[in-house]
Amino acid sequence: MAWKPEEIAALRELAGVYRLDGGCWAVLRVKDKSIPPGKTDAWPEGVEYSWAILMPGQAPTLRGERMAGVDNADDSIVRKESEKLPLGPQHRAHEHKPDWKRIKIVAEQEWPLAGKATRLAVAPASPGDLWNECMRCLEQLFEELGLNVPTSAELMEARTTEEDFQQMQSTLRVKAKRDGLVPGR
């Protein structure tokens, strides 16, 4: 069952970029999804969403390397899982947990890359359920990393829009180029 328009509007208010401890970032995106006829089981929410927890980087990018996340994009692993069990759940809601066998060194510290998709047992029934999944994902990762898990209030204070984030990113690039830290482009 698709989420109500007022629920989606409230979720859009949470969309943006969140500064996290350790130089990490989280990005929540919510966008309209044109659902093909006969595919409402795949996207029962009626929208596409993505919560990605990104490892630190200089300058950080919104499409940086993920450590974990929750989304309902059309992931091939989830789609194949659905095809194997045509009578089972068909929704695309899934999570990516950190894969500690695949790491990246950033500033001499190890950070995990996101693992393969694992479908959630059930698709979030409401944006509130989705937000809870996002927070669970963040808490698990930060506990594994030994970083402070932000409270909801701290998370909201650390939120910015994608546009503001991109402006900050551009400013960091200009500063790094001026200081000779990156080759000019």
- Tens digits of per-residue pLDDT, 157-182? 999 988 888 888 778 777 767 776 65
Residue 59: how many other CB atoms lie within 10 Å: 15
Q: Does residue 61 lie within any of the structural domains?
A: yes
- In a 13 Å sphere around the CA of 179, the CA atoms on its Cβ side amount to 7
Q: Are 30 and 12 in contact (CB under 8 A)?
A: yes
What region, left, alpha or beta, does residue 126 occupy, with left being phi > 0 and alpha being psi -120 to 50 degrees?
Answer: beta
Q: Is residue 184 assigned to a domain?
A: no
Amino acid at 83: E
Closest CA to 146 of 116, 110, 118: 110
Inside any domain, residue 107: yes
> Which has the closest alpha carbon to 123: 83, 92, 79, 81?
92
- Residue 63 falls within a domain, yes or no? yes
pLDDT score for 59: 56
* Token couple for 175: 């500063």
pLDDT of residue 37: 85
Report how far residue 24's alpha carbon sits from residue 17's, in angstroms, rounded to the nearest whole number: 11
Angstrom distance (rounded) from CA 47 to CA 73? 10
CB atoms within 10 A of CB 76: 9
In a domain, 183, yes or no: no
Q: What is the pLDDT of residues 22-54, one digit of tens each?
A: 989 999 999 988 888 888 999 999 999 999 999
Domain ranges, residue 18: 5-178
pLDDT single digits (tens) 70-100: 999 989 999 998 889 888 889 999 999 999 9
For 165, other C-beta atoms within 10 Å of its C-beta total 20
Is 185 a member of any domain? no
**70 part of a folded domain:** yes
Structural domain count, the chain: 1
What's the rounded Cα separation, in Å, for the pair 122 and 178? Answer: 50
Residue 174 lies inside a defined structural domain of this protein: yes
Other beta carbons within 10 Å of 114: 21
Residue 109 has pLDDT above 50, yes or no: yes
